[in-house]
């Protein structure tokens, strides 16, 4: 299992691309990857599925293939109160 917490925070664009490629390679090799990030594009671009935890409870399980950063952000901030599971 690979746990990546904010893996590209504070790095330049070139390093970001390299890190994203390493995460994709780990996933392709069969490794389970848990990605924790505040970068919504990173979460949507690298995830097979997304779970949002707000105030200690899971408030949504979402498909990144049909999700916008704005929608994801609304779950993360509590603006979207509709529970998806």
Domain count, the chain: 2
* Helix boundaries (H) for 1-85: 13-28, 40-46, 69-77
pTM score, two decimals?
0.81
pLDDT the model gives residue 80: 85
In a shared domain, residues 37 and 76:
no
Find, among 48, 55, 45, the residue nearest to 76 by Cα. 55
Work out the pLDDT band at 74, boundaries 50, 70, 90: very high
Domain range holding 39? 1-47
Q: What is the pLDDT of residues 17-72, one digit of tens each?
A: 999 999 999 999 999 999 999 999 999 999 999 999 999 999 999 999 999 999 99
In a shared domain, residues 53 and 43:
no
In a shared domain, residues 22 and 7:
yes
In a shared domain, residues 34 and 6:
yes
pLDDT the model gives residue 85: 54
């Amino acid at each position: 299992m690979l746990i990546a917490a904010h893996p590209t925070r504070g790095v330049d664009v070139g390093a970001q691309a390299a890190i994203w490629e390493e995460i994709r390679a780990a996933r392709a090799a069969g490794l389970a990857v848990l990605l924790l990030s505040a970068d919504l594009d990173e979460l949507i671009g690298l995830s097979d599925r997304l779970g949002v935890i707000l105030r200690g409870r899971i408030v949504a399980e979402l498909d990144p293939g049909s999700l916008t950063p704005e929608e994801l952000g609304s779950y993360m901030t509590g603006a979207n109160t509709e529970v998806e599971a």
